[in-house]
Chain A
Amino acid sequence: MADARISVPAKVARGEPFEVRIQIRHPMETGYRTDDVGTSIPRNVVRSFTCRYNGETVFAARLSSGIAANPYLRFFVTARASGELTFEWIDDVGTRGSDRAVVAVG
């Protein structure tokens, strides 16, 4: 199941910031909508997102109902050595998602 699409440069320079992009598949249901018969649809958004590099948190975000479906995040990370980025997120109903990407410093 493709839960996310990640884009990281194939090769990054030591100590230089590089851009990480991630798009997470999620409906980001606001909680303000109703279905066809008028029943309110409960809120379900990705509420927290964390990115770690070799275990150390390098980026974290709290998201809310103001963010559109399939949230797209772009941020910069600096690496001193090759390693692995791990991404984790959790939504309001407790569904966890995760993904990873390898970073090669050269």
Chain B
Amino acid sequence: MRCALAVVIATLAATAFAQERTLPLSALRSGTSFLGPDLRAMQDDESANPGLLWVSRGEQLWSATAGASGQSCASCHGAARATMRGVAARYPAYDKSAGSVLDLEARIDRCRIQRQAAPALSRESDELLALTAYVAYQSRGLPLAASIEGPAREAFDRGRKFYTQRHGQMNLACTQCHDENWGKRLLVETISQGQPNAFPAYRLEWQSLGSLQRRIRACLFGVRAQMPPPGAPELTDVELYLAWRAQGLPLESPGVRR
């Protein structure tokens, strides 16, 4: 009886999730497929992809000691190649000690502050981007699998609300471009689905690697909306929503974007 009830609940939950999807899983397309062949080649060629500069730097930082503890990331986590495989694909994730959902950048920074007793890294600093890119790189090719179960659910709901809500002077919601009009042209650009699977990514417009939050802020700037400051919880909520929405897409970080 209890078993049957569980099945019913699971089925109901699955149906509810299916209805929540504005973009069915079968229609998902990585941002890479909206690029020209030149940028795709640049992303795939590891000697040409500029994002690898940050990955190499992250590899060095991984085993460099920091803070009063005199410990490096490697002191606890060992070889990232083994221990960090699959980690980035699960982020953003709920962190019990923080009592909130953290993205990968926030998780790394928390580790630095609490375990290494090192000063916090600022968002978009080269060091934080390098460490994030290095950890994300270990999950390259794995499908995104962020969980919205349990306490993460609240953040997910807020993120979904933000995503479907109209913003700024242009009065546009994320969903209007990225769910309803992807594949069409916006002036010279093809509108993508707004998938997060290649971030942190090297954007030619930035001439640098940048985080997903920076990309979301750029979109908000584009619709002339107020931009939450880097690291704001609203942005983490949207990141979680995007990660859930991209479930199953392979992680491609460091990607190359226009």
Chain A residues lying within 8 Å of B207, measured Cβ to Cβ, are 27-28, 68-70
Within 8 A of A (CB), among B187-218: 204, 207-208
B60 near A1 with CB under 8 A, answer yes
B208 near A25 with CB under 8 A, answer no
B53 near A70 with CB under 8 A, answer yes
A23 near B53 with CB under 8 A, answer yes
Chain B residue nearest to A25 (CB atoms) is B53
A21 within 8 A of B: yes
Q: How far is the CB of B253 from chain A (nearest CB, A)?
A: 17
A7 near B208 with CB under 8 A, answer no
For chain B, give the interface size range: 10 to 19
A2 within 8 A of B: yes
B50 near A70 with CB under 8 A, answer yes
Known: A5-B53, A25-B53. A72 touches B60 (CB 8 A): no
Known: A27-B207, A28-B207, A69-B208. A2 touches B56 (CB 8 A): yes
Given the complex of chains A and B, what is the CA–CA distance between A7 and B208 in angstroms?
21
Q: Which residue of the partner chain, among B47, B57, B59, B208, contacts A23 with CB atoms under 8 Å?
A: B47
Main secondary structure of the interface of A (DSSP, over half): loop
Q: How far is the CB of A66 from chain B (nearest CB, A)?
A: 13
Q: Which residue of the partner chain, among B56, B204, B208, contacts A5 with CB atoms under 8 Å?
A: B56
Chain A residues lying within 8 Å of B47, measured Cβ to Cβ, are 5, 7, 21, 23
B79 within 8 A of A: no
Chain B residues lying within 8 Å of A25, measured Cβ to Cβ, are 53, 57
Within 8 A of B (CB), among A1-46: 1-2, 5, 7, 21, 23, 25, 27-28
Given the complex of chains A and B, what is the CA–CA distance between A28 and B60 in angstroms?
23
Chain A residues lying within 8 Å of B56, measured Cβ to Cβ, are 2, 5
Q: Which residue of the partner chain, among B48, B53, B204, contacts A2 with CB atoms under 8 Å?
A: B53
Residues of A within 8 A of B (CB): 1-2, 5, 7, 21, 23, 25, 27-28, 68-70, 72
Given contacts A21-B47, A70-B207, 6 further A-B contacts (CB under 8 A): A1-B60, A2-B60, A23-B47, A23-B52, A27-B208, A69-B207
Residues of B within 8 A of A (CB): 47-48, 50, 52-53, 56-57, 59-60, 204, 207-208
**Can you identify 12 A-B contacts, CB atoms within 8 angstroms?**
A1-B57, A7-B47, A21-B48, A23-B47, A23-B52, A25-B53, A27-B208, A68-B204, A69-B208, A70-B50, A70-B53, A70-B207
Give 5 closest A-B pairs by Cβ, nearest first.
Answer: A69-B207, A2-B56, A7-B47, A2-B57, A70-B50
